[in-house]
Structure 1
Amino acid sequence: MDLPLVVGVDGSEPSLRAVDWAADEAALRGVPLRLVYASLWERYEGDSLAEDLTDDLDGRTEQVTAEAVVRVAARRAALRHPDVEVSTDVLPEEPESALVREGRNACALVLGHRGRSGLVEMLLGSVGLSVAAHADCPVIVLRGGHDNRVRAGVHGRVVVGVGDKGTDSAALRFAVREARLRGATLEAVRAWRCPAHETTDHPLLVGEPARLHELQAAETLERALEDVPAELELRRRTAEGPARGVLLAASHEADLLVVGARRTPGHIGLQLGRVAHAVLHHAACPVAVVPERP
């Protein structure tokens, strides 16, 4: 049986837009869609509800049940893709722990970039950050001005940051699959920097240390991509600068940005790294964080 694609919903507009996107993704993958509402509170009171929920409740927004949240989300997914199997669940617990546990039996987790917390829109909330840092499966956070669609992306491009894992990179394998599903170009990016202590003032040697690091980056990129299917349209690119800055710039012309996050057995704190942390907060497109095992 195929593992489901799990979406965390909370009644906010970003979470329902995540349902749209995930329904497309589930249809492409041919997997079930599972919609989960996780909260210690049975009812929500506030004014940050999605329009669909307000309509469902005839304009009454003072009290919203968890069942109403998942009912509206399921109806929205079914209208978008009637052929996708949809299931729902309400879990009376903290969303961080519930979604991480759900990820153990999911092909991926999908989250809106911001829920009903009232946080600044540019920053990812604590739930998304914690889930991305601890989940055993890829976590896709729908940042930026995505158009709620997977197949017909604006740019037709999936960007992946290439680290030191080479052909053993789970993030690269994930990016290859996503690009193939979408019929998109895969752009593999390797960032490089020339340490300040390697520079020289000799006029005949200016630029040589930098050129060496650039060549090493290109060689690393080639080795990592040697098993990419020949039929996939592939772009290779090296860029000077910190990896997080290079990838943030690339996100402005991508429909999906894929990065790896190292997982260390026995480690309790956040396991993201600076690059994944930065793109989750500031990328201009959806971000997939893929766990990398030692």
Structure 2
Amino acid sequence: MSRTVTAGLDGSPESLAAADWAAREALRRGLPLRLVHVYEWQPYSVYAPLAGAVAAVDPDVQQRWAESVPRDAAAELARRHPDLEISAGLVTGRPAAALAAAAEESELLVLGSRGLGALAGFLVGSVASATVAQVTRPVVLVRAGEQGKDEHRPDLDGLVSEYTPFRDVVLGIDLARPHDDLIAFAFEAAALRRTGLRVVHGWNLPASYGFNPAAMALDLAHELTAAQAKALTEALAPWRAKYPAVEVVEHSLVGGAAHHLVEAAADASLVVVGRRVRHSPAGLHIGTVTHAVLHHANAPVAVVPHD
């Protein structure tokens, strides 16, 4: 099956923002767009306060609504992007499992997140979290209200549009486990947008200095910092050669990677992080850094699974 950019829809504003982002990404990649709505019939009941009663929702009404979700979104996106090949339809089953299956047939899967909440971060729903945790293809989460112009820098007059240059792509990398799929995705995303790539590597001081960094000799601190910076440069060298048009800025920073990535996201078009594929049914399957970035970054976040 030919690869597509697939967007999961549930009729919410955040999923519509995700579909719009997916349409733009499909055009950038020269791929068709597939819109998917997972239909799982439930014996819903609706409380009608004016009538003072609880009424069951007609299954036919549910079916018609479910069919309208991808159809209406496809019509709107076709109107805005007449050159984009779009398909739309229903799939059945448990939402996370069905979306994960759709992802396996896709170049990437795009899902919505409920936007910025009281903690100034993504409110990642249970379906999105479960999907991210089990897929083996890249997944992008897009917050509610995300617009095409948000990916771009202001011009000299302070105006932002889809015609001004893109903001940088940000990549979070763990030098203990650098993975080709993750790095390749970030470089390709920057190349497609004709923008720069900022690579963030967070590292911590030796545990013996954790409570008193000032106790570290200055020359040792410089030596550790230089070693981390050199390791980052060496890891990226082959990718710089492969993507010579991508301007790369390296940030090897002391402290937790999640904090630095969330800061960098404030001026990014896309944040790219990894997720180590785990085959054990127990434990967190997203990873602490990726989990934090998903919940607190205010830019779209791409999660790239790797071994």
Counterpart Cα distance in 1 of 2:225 and 2:30: 41
Superposed CA offset, 1:82-102 (max 9, x none): 111111121232210000111
1:272 aligns with 2:280: no
The worse-fitting range, judged by mean Cα deviation, of 188-197 and 163-172 is 163-172
Aligned match of 2:14: 14
1:197 aligns with 2:208: yes
Aligned match of 2:81: 81
Counterpart Cα distance in 2 of 1:140 and 1:29: 15
Q: Equivalent of 1:182, from 193, 218, 221? A: 193
Counterpart Cα distance in 2 of 1:4 and 1:79: 19
How big is the shift at 1:202?
A: 11
1:286 aligns with 2:300: yes
Counterpart Cα distance in 1 of 2:194 and 2:94: 37
Aligned match of 2:58: none
Superposed CA offset, 1:218-264 (max 9, x none): 12211221122222111111111101111111111111000011013
Counterpart Cα distance in 2 of 1:41 and 1:170: 37
Residue identity in the other structure for 1:139: V
Residue identity in the other structure for 1:3: R
Shift in CA distance, 144/89, structure 1 to aligned 2, threshold 3 Å = closer
Q: Is the partner of 2:237 in helix, strand or coil? A: coil
RMSD between aligned alpha carbons? 3.0
1:217 aligns with 2:231: no
1:256 aligns with 2:267: no
Counterpart Cα distance in 1 of 2:306 and 2:275: 6
Q: Is the 8 A contact 2:179 2:306 kept in 1?
A: no
Q: Equivalent of 1:164, from 148, 170, 175? A: 175
| 1:56-95 paired onto structure 2 within 5 Å | 65-95=65-95
| Structure possessing the higher radius of gyration over alpha carbons | 2
Residue identity in the other structure for 1:252: A
Residue identity in the other structure for 1:256: L
Q: Identity of paired residues, percent? A: 37
Q: Is the 8 A contact 2:136 2:306 kept in 1?
A: no
How big is the shift at 1:122?
A: 3.8
Counterpart Cα distance in 2 of 1:203 and 1:64: 66
The worse-fitting range, judged by mean Cα deviation, of 149-158 and 206-215 is 149-158
Residue identity in the other structure for 1:88: A
Superposed CA offset, 1:124-174 (max 9, x none): 111111111111110000137632356747752000011126764311110
Q: Is the 8 A contact 1:186 1:232 kept in 2?
A: yes
Aligned match of 2:254: 240
Instruction: Output the TM-score relative to the length of structure 1.
Output: 0.83
Q: Is the 8 A contact 1:260 1:291 kept in 2?
A: yes
Instruction: Output the TM-score relative to the length of structure 2.
Output: 0.80
Shift in CA distance, 232/66, structure 1 to aligned 2, threshold 3 Å = same
Q: Is the 8 A contact 1:113 1:142 kept in 2?
A: yes
- Structure 1, unaligned runs of 5 or more: 47-60
Q: Is the partner of 1:136 in helix, strand or coil? A: coil
Shift in CA distance, 45/112, structure 1 to aligned 2, threshold 3 Å = farther
Counterpart Cα distance in 1 of 2:128 and 2:213: 49
Superposed CA offset, 1:36-81 (max 9, x none): 00131379888xxxxxxxxxxxxxx999610111111101221221
Residue identity in the other structure for 1:253: D
Question: How many positions carry a matched residue from both structures?
Answer: 275
Q: Is the partner of 2:238 in helix, strand or coil? A: coil
Counterpart Cα distance in 1 of 2:138 and 2:127: 15
The worse-fitting range, judged by mean Cα deviation, of 99-108 and 226-235 is 226-235
Aligned match of 2:108: 108
